[in-house]
């Protein structure tokens, strides 16, 4: 496996004078010797497309019951387009790589990395405001695609919940007059939607909390802003300073300490900053 190059996933490094790199050892999990990483985005997109195709059956049943399904189907169609578009953008977008000139200065130790910028194995250059790697789109989530990632999660939950609600109404209403094949498909789609909602809702809730606290997943995994109260003195203690046994024993007692997060300006300002900061500005390093 050749060393991972920068740019969009799968893209080639256009720098003619880039230093050659040794081949990277392939150490990713496989299924029967086949890289399983493409499995996740393939399943995601195919399941969304299958669920989208079920709109035809849902529309037919709604028409039989209500006389028209135009507005209902238009709502679902727009929601699917929005969600799939957000997923594609998250997967294919440049997540916000450190500009080449600044990267060379960093390599030459002429400058330090911007705040919240981190190196990830997927790219040769560090990612600005690096949040996490998402296996479902096989791309890093950073400065330029974090908002589309949140839109994707919101779309997942919206699709799953509304589809499950609609199927729950259609299955019993169509039971006496419909065919068993239509009922079976509606039932399978209902179960799929329930599972999708069960899986995606906690993810959206967790990442919405990150936005509200202005905390990145990388910072959360490192417990940078989390504390517990000393059992004797009552003082706040960073969870990273706890012995391993006490860390595991008191895991459920961890609390977020906003005073340790210099980027936390209150949930209102955090949300406004997340959604409305201009991220296309070349001088924006994601230090917010």
Q: What pLDDT was estimated at residue 59?
A: 83
Q: What does pTM read for this prediction?
A: 0.83
Residue 24: inside a domain: no
Q: Select from 39, 45, 40, 48 the least CA-distant residue to 160.
A: 48
Residue 90: inside a domain: yes
Residue 214: inside a domain: no
Q: Which domain holds residue 96?
A: 30-200
Q: What pLDDT was estimated at residue 18?
A: 43
Greatest Cα pair distance, the chain, in angstroms, is 75
Total domains present in the chain: 1
What is the C-alpha to C-alpha distance for residues 105 and 150, in angstroms, rounded to an integer?
32
Q: Which residues contact 21 (CB under 8 A, 6 or more apart)?
A: 3, 124
What are the pLDDT digits (tens) for 171-189?
Answer: 887 776 667 888 888 899 9
Residue 282: inside a domain: no
Q: Which residues contact 86 (CB under 8 A, 6 or more apart)?
A: 148, 149, 151, 152, 155
What are the pLDDT digits (tens) for 41-85?
Answer: 888 888 888 888 888 888 888 887 777 888 888 999 999 999 999
What are the pLDDT digits (tens) for 210-233?
Answer: 999 999 999 999 999 999 999 888
Residue 277: inside a domain: no
What are the pLDDT digits (tens) for 12-26?
Answer: 343 334 444 444 444
Average pLDDT over residues 27-42: 69
Average pLDDT over residues 153-165: 95
What one-character-per-residue DSSP string does 2-20 give? PPPPSSSTTPPP--TTPPP
What are the pLDDT digits (tens) for 114-149?
Answer: 999 999 999 999 999 999 999 999 999 999 999 999
Residue 141: inside a domain: yes
Residue 35: inside a domain: yes
Residue 251: inside a domain: no
């Amino acid at each position: 496996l050749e060393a991972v190059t920068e740019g969009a996933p799968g893209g080639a490094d256009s720098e003619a004078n880039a230093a050659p790199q040794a081949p990277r050892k392939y150490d990713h999990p496989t299924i029967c010797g086949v890289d399983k990483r493409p499995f996740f985005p393939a399943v995601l997109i195919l399941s969304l497309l299958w669920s989208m195709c079920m709109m035809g059956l849902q529309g037919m049943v709604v028409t039989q019951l209500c006389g028209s399904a135009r507005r209902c189907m238009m709502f679902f169609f727009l929601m699917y387009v929005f969600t799939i578009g957000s997923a594609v953008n998250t997967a294919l977008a440049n997540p916000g790589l450190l500009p080449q000139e600044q990267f060379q200065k960093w390599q030459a130790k002429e400058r330090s990395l911007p705040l919240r910028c981190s190196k990830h194995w997927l790219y040769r250059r560090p990612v600005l405001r690096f949040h996490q790697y998402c296996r479902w789109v096989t791309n890093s989530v950073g400065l330029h695609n974090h908002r589309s990632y949140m839109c994707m999660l919101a779309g997942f939950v919206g699709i799953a919940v509304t589809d499950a609600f609609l199927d729950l109404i259609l299955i019993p209403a169509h039971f006496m007059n419909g065919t068993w094949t239509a009922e079976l498909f509606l039932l399978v789609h209902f179960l799929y939607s329930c599972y999708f909602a069960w899986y995606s809702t906690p993810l959206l809730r967790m990442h919405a909390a990150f936005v509200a606290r202005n905390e990145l997943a990388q910072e959360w995994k490192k417990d940078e802003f989390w504390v517990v109260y000393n059992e004797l003195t009552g003082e706040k203690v960073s969870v990273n300073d706890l012995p391993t046994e006490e860390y595991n024993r008191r895991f459920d007692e961890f609390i977020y300490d906003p005073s340790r997060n210099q980027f936390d300006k209150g949930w209102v300002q955090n949300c406004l900053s997340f959604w409305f900061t201009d991220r296309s500005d070349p001088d924006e390093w994601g230090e917010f």
